[in-house]
Amino acid sequence: MPTLKWCRKGCKVVLDWLQQEYWSRQLGGGANEGWDCQSDLDEEEMDLNGLLVDALLEDGFLVPTMEQLQTLGCDSPDDDSLTEPRLPQTFLRFWLPLLKMLNSPSFIHLLLEKLFVELKLLTTEQNNHRVFYISAWISEVFLCNSNKFEFHFETKVQKKNRMKDRIFVNRIQLRWQQLLSACLDAPCTSTPHLLQLILDDMEHPLPLDTRQRLLQLCSIYTQSAPPDLAPPPQYKQPIYTLESLHEKLQHSRRHSHARRSRADLERSESSQEHKSSDVHEKAELLRGSPWQVCVDKVLWKNFPLGKIPGQSEDPSCLMVENYSTMTVFDQPVELESSSTTHTAAGVSAPMRTSEGLLWSHSDVNKLKTGLKLF
């Protein structure tokens, strides 16, 4: 789908054509001279909203003076309140009647844009008082637009009291990408808090790991604690440079390599101990036998099955000195007898036919008498 801006331009072209080619011709005249009155009014309204926001951002309006705070009975902000700036309730209620009359989406968008521009200009100045109230107004707008999960379980009285102190009630579709860029472009002590509000309320939230990295980088850059990860009071974030990060990476790699080498050495020693104990047990079992365990490093894949290193080609080398003999004839041999042994009763087995000579009982007995086992 095209953007809303191009849809409006297309709609304007279509309406212009209808006005000139259809409606004005039916009235018997040319194009209506007052056709662009609405667009002129919109541009005039936008100009007035620029003028109005610029006036509100001057000292003594949305940013109160010390005398005004004393008159309203409000305490001046301190340095600790910059991490999560919130407007004093008395000061907020002083401006609510006017702001509720101006709470159109176009005015809210323009107000946020001007507030972030002003916050960016203050990055070169040491004016914590002004930074606090600019950041607090941005935070107030975001909280008015917030749709947090905990609000779903509040009572009617709690909801009524919360709505009473809001600039606007209905949720507005904010320009989240522009706001995210503007927030990161104006780094200050309040930036992690404002960034957290933006990331929590975006229509299409970023991946969790991306949000965590943005918050961590923002807290490092502004030298403040990331939201919900407050360190002890004596802790201070170190300032990283490219050289220090490179050195830290090299140190981490060396440390990891040393750990892997130590682990490999321990595994190798453990494996050698296991092999040594295994060889010792096998040697004990073969004690007194003509066989022995080979402890040399031999590539057994180079020797065929049944052959050992240094073995002679003479087959008699495998003969042992002491052995006893017995004839095979003395051993019982179970021969296949008649087919009744393997055939169930009442079932006739198929006749087996074979070509060539068949062994007889006398032939088998002759073979048995000539064989010897040792």
**Domain identity same for 7 and 68:** no
- pLDDT digit string, tens, across residues 63-96: 999 999 999 899 888 877 888 899 999 999 999 9
The reply to whether 211 and 90 lie within a common domain is yes
Query: What pLDDT was estimated at residue 345?
Result: 43
> For every residue of the chain, which 3-state class applies, written as one string?
CCCHHHHHHHHHHHHHHHHHHHHHHHCCCCCCCCCCHHHHHHHHHHHHHHHHHHHHCCECCCECCHHHHHHHCCCCCCHHHHCCCCCCHHHHHHHHHHHHHCCCHHHHHHHHHHHHHHHHHHHHCCCHHHHHHHHHHHHHHHHHHCCCHHHHHCCHHHHHHHHHCCCCCCCCCCCHHHHHHHHHCCCCCCHHHHHHHHHHHCCCCCCHHHHHHHHHHHHHHHCCCCCCCCCCCCCCCCCCCHHHHHHHHHHHHHHHHHHHHHHHHHHHHHHHHHHHHHHHHHHHHCCCCCCCCCCCCCCHHHCCCCCCCCCCCCHHHHCCCCCCCEEHHHCCCCCCCCHHHCCCCCCCCCCCCCCCCCCCHHHHHHHHHHCEEC
Query: At residue 34, does pLDDT exceed 80?
Result: no
Report the number of distinct structural domains present in the chain: 2
pTM of the model: 0.51
* Boundary of a domain, candidates 169, 198, 222: 222
Nearest-5° Cα angle at 53, 50 to 58 = 125
- In a domain, residue 274? The reply is no
pLDDT per residue over 1-26, tens digit each? 778 888 888 888 888 888 877 777 76
Classify residue 309: in a domain, yes or no. no
Minimal CA–CA distance to 107: which of 40, 180, 44, 53? Answer: 53
Q: By residue range, what is the domain housing residue 19?
A: 1-28
Assign 341 a pLDDT band (cuts: 50, 70, 90): very low
Give the residue, 300 or 257, on which the prediction is more confident: 300
pLDDT for res 194: 94
Among 62, 68, 66, 74, smallest CA distance to 115 is for 62
Q: Would residue 329 count as lying in a domain? A: no
Q: Cα–Cα distance between 165 and 131 in angstroms, integer? A: 22
Domain termination site, one of 194, 222, 250:
222
pLDDT digits 0-9 by tens, 176-224:
999 999 999 999 989 999 999 999 888 888 899 889 888 888 888 887 6
pLDDT of residue 92: 92
> Which residue from 57, 66, 122 is spatially nearest to 95, judged by alpha carbons?
57
Statement to judge: residues 86 and 138 lie in one domain = yes
In a domain, 230, yes or no: no
Tell whether 17 and 152 lie within a shared domain: no
Q: What pLDDT band is residue 338 in, cutting at 50, 70 and 90?
A: very low
Question: Is residue 361 predicted with pLDDT exceeding 50?
Answer: yes
Evaluate if residue 36 carries a pLDDT over 70.
no
One domain, residues 214 and 102: yes
| Residue 187 · residue 123 · CB < 8 Å | yes
Torsion of CA 158, 161, 167, 173, to 10 degrees: 20
Checking if the pLDDT of 140 tops 80, the result is yes
- Mean pLDDT across the stretch 116-122? 92
- Residue 330 belongs to some domain of the structure: no
Pick the more confident residue, 156 or 69: 69
- On whether residue 296 sits in a domain, the answer given is no
Same structural domain for residues 92 and 180?
yes
Q: What is the pLDDT of residue 295?
A: 72
In a domain, 188, yes or no: yes
Higher-pLDDT residue of 70, 303: 70
Of 216 and 279, more confident:
216
Q: Of the residues 201, 222, 243, which one is the last residue of a structural domain?
A: 222
* Residue with tokens 């006036």, as numbered in its chain: 55
Same domain for 7 and 66?
no
CA torsion angle 339 342 346 350 (round to 10): -50
In a domain, 319, yes or no: no
Residue 198, C-beta contacts closer than 8 angstroms, at least 6 positions apart? 142, 176, 179, 180, 183
Q: d(Cα 285, Cα 293) in Å, to the nearest integer?
A: 10
